[in-house]
Structure 1
Amino acid sequence: MGLLGLSLVLGVGFVWWERHIRQPLLDLGIFRHRAFLAGCLAIFVFGGAFYAIMYLLPLFAQGILDFRPVTTGLLFLPSTLVLALLVPVIGKLSDRYPSHYMTLPGLAFAIFAVFLFSRADVYTSFTYLAVALTLMSAGMASFPPPTLSRAIGSLPLHLTGYGSGVINFMLQMGGAFGTAALVLMMDRRITWHGEHISTVITAGNDTAMATAARWQDILAGVGVPQAWQQTAALQKVGATEQFWSTVMAYQDGFWLVMIALTFVVIPAWLLSRWSRSPQHATD
């Protein structure tokens, strides 16, 4: 909380300073241009969702599916190829057509891909995740080039230098905020799911008792003394509870990313309506 308060104080101080010096590091008049402001908002939320997925997916693959690091890296190979092929094409098209022709279909692809991620669990295959990630990359390739181009292109020439730095900063800051929010939310959701699962693991739950009995048989078979078998079996049941709480928290995390991407549609559409093409901005 102290660091958060200090950040707010320094942020207010920065704004005050930039408004009172002749040659500011950042011309705050840049935010009076509504198209640029819409672009900043869109890229901020998009950055949060994109970096959150890049954080969440490798952890899910290794922690839940038990993939090796190399296997996890291979998940990203098809999507990287898609990005390499699509980004140059989208960049050219963004100079010729309204940005929403590319950004909105791209967001639809990304939202659908994250929906597929939200349905993943311990039984999900490598192919399933690779296909979902490839679909998401098709969406991700369609969003930043038109958004950056139209947002910066909507500014007067004397502000374009500021615009480039600001909108790239918004992308990185969105990633930082998005990842932090996701980690915090998942920590809370693991606890929440664990508490709700534990309420049904009682002597009256036949499934839980059968699972504990099965663990006792396994432990007896490997030579665990009888006096310790029941306690050890209950510990195994608790570990299973913790595991599935984590799986459900990951699913909640993917849902959070999907909701964030859905909200990106609004500023992306407004940017397309309010902005001028880059060619017009330089005339």
Structure 2
Amino acid sequence: MAQQSVATPQPVPTSDKLDAAVLKVAGVVVLGAIMSILDVTVVSVALPTFQSEFDASYARVAWTMTGYTLALATVIPLSGWAADRFGTKRLYMIALALFTIGSGLCATADTIGELIGYRVLQGLGGGMLMPIGMTIMTRAAGPHRIGRLMAVLGIPMLLGPIGGPILGGWLIDVASWHWIFLINLPIGLIALVYAQLALPKDSPEPSESFDFLGMLMLSPGLALFLYGVSTLPEAGTFADPEVWLPMLVGAALVVAFVRYSFKPRHPLLDLRLFRNRNLTIASVTLFVFIIAFMGAGLLFPSYFLQVRGETTLTAGLLMAPQGLGAMVTMPIAGMLADKVPVGRTVPFALVLIAAGFFTFTQVDPNTSYVLLCGSLFVMGLGMGGTMMPLMTSALRSLSGPEVARGSTLVNILQQIGGSIGAAVMSVILTNELNDSRPIPGAVDPSGNPVTEAGLAIAVQQRPELAQQFPVDPSFIERGLDYAADSFATTFWVGFALVLVTFVPAAFLPRRRERSHLLDDQPGGEQVKTPVVIH
């Protein structure tokens, strides 16, 4: 998530250990981080369930992820300004309340539109939990112990990609999809009470103004543009006003934002920072990588569920190797980031990702699970060696107040990239599935033709449907082939984007450069600026 600058420097104590008072505060922040991070990964295995429950296309249900990440991107720059104006404790508790209320409302959704709207509310709260929590922890412990604090926060960040899909799959299997949201209610209430008792009293100090005009252009602009893109599979043509009109208005708002952002003293996103070559190269590399990896990554559990007919719990377990791979290399990459130029490490990590990704471009209804899980593990190894080094490289050559603005810029690009990836990949998959052969005389409850791929997927998830559609078994077999080919085609797009990532990565620094991530403090103390990714 976005980095928050440290408050007034504190005296350096004789011990670097985290005392009981600091650990008490850290407990509050870890609870919030667990809810926020798990809720991204938990929902990934639920998308096919949302399809069948709400009778919606994959492109539409993917907005439960796209809307959430766009909301995260919206509040990242807002959180620092609001923390100064309203106080960190008060704002953190508001974020917890928003996230918890949003979770409860998600469980009550009767339509996919309601669920998307409630996910946006949930994202507005979740987006503030990590940056405000990091600020609270830094102020409580002092900047000299940021490394130890990052180790504490690293626990949910490492376990989230492993535990989220498994927890989500288990809850859906033993109860219902509602429980992937309801489980946040007791955790949220405990965290609210804990925060009230453990966090120090607020002392708000209003600082710089906030660029509300910029926010009103960027966030709606992205949302409208991506909505138009996601409507394409249902409309069937770019000529439909529901496709081109929101895309045109959204693109105009984004262009207007870019032109406007060079005027304010404190813009929402400081695009002037792109004059820094290292920041630009690292940001472009990270942006393209996120579109490919996060967009196609949402489809991995869907393949296991829809083509292979696995339960949601099994799909979650099959995704675990990816998280395990990242857990292996992320600490190593963190240690190497200060010693070896990223231009010498990131390309090797991208090779691992490309190698693992290629396997999924060849999937069929019977591809070996050993091969697929091994590929996910290799991709996880590559992901762990890519994300943090790129973030570090982007910020390394910045200094002073530029670091805070640069971290906000890079983190928002990360969330926007995830939103674009989810929307684009889901549209490609939906188009591919819709192009499969229709079954003569078969229509769904909405009156739309039933395709062989659509029927095969439905029967895989709900075998009782085979009785309602007494068709030749060869239709089901052929439909699964169509479905697997649709996933493979979509993975080819993701794989091509991974290859594109090698182009900017070739220009990453290959020589050690002086890092400006150390800010001069009174008394000559050098302090690392915290960098937190979601």
* Superposition TM-score, scaled by structure 1 size: 0.79
Instruction: Determine the structure 2 residue equivalent to 1:64.
Output: 307
Q: Which residue of 2 aligns with 1:249?
A: 486
User: What is the alpha-carbon distance in structure 2 between the residues aligned to residue 194 and residue 142 of structure 1?
Assistant: 42
| 1:144 CA drift (Å) | 0.9
CA distance in 2, matches of 1:53, 1:254: 6
CA contact (8 A) 1:148 1:167 kept: yes
Equivalent in 84, 89, 110 of residue 327 of structure 2: 84
| Aligned positions of 1:13-32 closer than 5 A | 13-32=256-275
**Paired residue type of 2:505:** A
**What is the rounded CA distance, in whole Å, between the counterparts of 1:94 and 1:12 in structure 2?**
35
Pair 37,281 (structure 1): closer, same or farther in 2 beyond 3 Å:
farther
What pairs up with 1:219-258 in 2 under 5 angstroms? Answer: 233=471, 236-258=473-495
* 1:267 equivalent in structure 2: 504
Q: 2:356 aligns with which of 101, 113, 119?
A: 113
Residue in 2 that maps onto 1:176: 419
Residue 168 of structure 1 deviates from its aligned partner by: 1.3
**Which amino acid counterpart does residue 500 of structure 2 have in structure 1?**
F
Q: Distance in 1 between matches of 2:407 and 2:323?
A: 25
Query: Does the Cα contact within 8 Å between 1:190 and 1:246 map onto a contact in 2?
Result: yes
Which of the pair has the greater relative contact order for Cα pairs under 8 Å at 6+ separation? 1
Equivalent residue number for residue 206 of structure 2: none
- In structure 1, the partner of 2:373 is 130
Deviations 1:94-132 (A, max 9, x none): 111110222111111111101112222111233222111
2:514 & 2:364 partners in 1: Cα distance?
44
Corresponding residue of 2:248? 5
Residue 119 of structure 1 aligns to a residue whose secondary structure is: coil
Secondary structure of 2:508's counterpart equals helix
Mapping of residues 163-202 of structure 1, within 5 Å: 163-192=406-435, 194=437
What is the deviation of 1:237? 4.1
Q: Which has the larger radius of gyration?
A: 1
Q: What residue in structure 1 maps to residue 347 of structure 2?
A: 104
Could you list the runs of 5+ residues in structure 1 that have no partner in the other structure? 199-230
Letter in 1 for 2:508: L
SS in 1 for 2:261: helix
SS at match of 2:252: helix
Higher fraction of helix: 1
Aligned to 2:386: 143
Q: Counterpart amino acid of 1:264?
A: T
Q: Is the 8 Å Cα contact of residues 362 and 488 (structure 2) preserved in structure 1? A: yes
Mapped to 2, the partners of 1:240 and 1:79 lie a distance apart of 29
In structure 2, C-alpha distance between the alignment counterparts of 1:117 and 1:51, rounded to whole Å: 14
- Which amino acid in 2 is paired with 1:247? A
Contact 1:95–1:277 (CA under 8 A) maintained in structure 2? no
The alignment partner of 1:122 has SS state of coil
2-structure distance, mates of 1:281, 1:275: 15
With over 3 angstroms needed to count, the CA separation of the structure-2 counterparts of 1:274 and 1:3, relative to structure 1, is farther
Deviations 1:35-69 (A, max 9, x none): 21111111111111121232110000010111111
> If the length of structure 2 is used for normalisation, what is the TM-score?
0.43
Aligned partners of 2:325 and 2:484: how far apart in 1? Answer: 28
Q: Structure 2: which amino acid aligns with 1:19?
A: F
- Give the aligned residue type for 2:423: A
